[in-house]
Amino acid sequence: MFKQVVSGSLLLIGLLSCAPDQNYLQVHKDDHIVLIGNNLGSRMMNYGWFETELQLRYPDSTLIIRNMCDGGNMPGFNPHSGRDNPWAFPGAEQHYDELGTNSGSEGHFESPDQWLSRLEADIIIAFFGFSESYQGEAGLDRYKKELKAFISHTLSQKYHGHSPPRLVLVSPVAFENLSDTYDLPDGTLENLNLALYTKAMQEVALAHNVEFVDAFNPSKHWMESSSQPLTIDGLQLNEYGYQQFSTFLADQIFGKSKSPSPHRELVHEAVQEKNWLWHNDFKIPNGVHVFGRRYNPFGPDNYPAELAKIREMTAIRDQAIWKAAKGERTDLRSADEQTSPLPVVKTNFELKVEGAAPRYLYGTEALASITTAPGYQIELLASESEFPDLANPVQLSFDNQGRLWVATMPTYPHWRPGDPKPNDKILILTDEDHDGKADKQIIFADSLHLPTGFEITHDGVFV
């Protein structure tokens, strides 16, 4: 069987070994592909291999690919702290009687339909069945009804304005047995439930003439035959697992690729850069101020402009991906300079004397200004004067070796579009000569974004 894929013109991609009734989706030159769903899809954005695979297969296209997945999402239930209701589409609440109470969430974060319309989705790849599988056999009937309602709603929409989206359902992957290495289940019960929900998805997809990909059975075989783990914890694929899964998924949906591209690493780098910007849009930190209950009175001053700038920068990175597929590298810094400038945000700090800026005290000068209760004494261990990386500390803790650990957040409350990428840190300060003052700094971790806290344990440090 020959398969034709549209990418500007008709392109013959090869002779496929498949069942006679096997159908693949056609990719058009300017398709917008959106991933929705839960666990399996949500972590795909961390690695970027699926999009890399697609962009390499269609180097003459201008594909726009976005990932809207979140670990707790279900076909009809998409809870969000910045939206007044958790339902993914009208009528979804009838499938969730026990979740029908008001969660108290507030805000104007857009609904799934609004986002899909904004993204002009042509192809929707939906990853469901994992979170739902924990309901076991008792939850199957409700899940099938919910999935049917989701399909009917989705195929009744015209997100790109001209026709319903092409929809693909993807089952969960299997649960990997890592119990010999970690204190984890062996996956027996989990895989029984995952198999049930995979079969249910397949039945619903067939009844509604929707494309379906069984990822459960192939991944179970990979896990049983692989010489190295494919997951980090039995249920979440690691990078090696996602590389294997991404090629499999692209083959299953769009047909097998004929020839490898020499630009894989360049495209992957560009995809990851774009995903970082997209993540700071769709899952922007500090959302309580951006679109949530604290939006008023200060949110309107800067966040709409910041989101607009992020979207301009993301579009630049889409173009960088298309160029990378042809072996070209984009000067992102120069391109970003052409995006909209951010408005100056006025401070609400009132000076007692006009023009007299506040003066911060450091080190011994600050120490001399502190009055302690009788019997107490404060000593200076370290300050920003000796260790500039200490700026904006948010948590500190001593370990059992007497070392001071500090989490710093110079990017608080979150990254400002156009600035260098966040480089928040966890520092260790040591007193090497035991004179009561820190004289050595170790950067335990850097390139972090808002490390609000950490805990030192015998297993390591949880951030």
Domain segments of the chain as ranges: 2-260, 377-462
pLDDT in tens, 239-291: 999 999 999 999 999 999 876 789 999 999 999 999 999 999 999 988 999 99
Instruction: Please report how many Cα atoms fall inside a 13 Å half-sphere around the Cα of residue 234, on the Cβ side.
Output: 18
Size of the chain, expressed as the number of residues it contains: 463
Q: Does domain 2-260 have CATH number 1.20.1560.10?
A: no
Q: Please, what's the b/e burial string for 255-264 (b: 16 or more CB within 10 A of its CB; e: otherwise)?
A: bbbeeebebb
Mean pLDDT for 398-425 is 93
pLDDT in tens, 341-393: 999 988 777 777 776 777 888 888 888 899 999 999 999 999 888 999 998 99
Give the separation between CA 156 and CA 367, rounded to whole angstroms: 67
Give the separation between CA 114 and CA 126, rounded to whole angstroms: 17
The partner residues of 388 in beta bridges, in order of sequence, read none
Res. 101 pLDDT band, cuts 50 70 90: low
pLDDT of 21 above 60: no
Look at residues 189, 190, 194, 239 and name the one whose alpha carbon lies nearest to residue 218: 194
Res. 323 pLDDT band, cuts 50 70 90: very high
* pLDDT of 259: 67
pLDDT in tens, 445-455: 999 999 999 99
* pLDDT of 19: 37
pLDDT of 14 above 90: no
Plot region of 460 (φ>0 → left; ψ -120 to 50 → alpha; else → beta): left
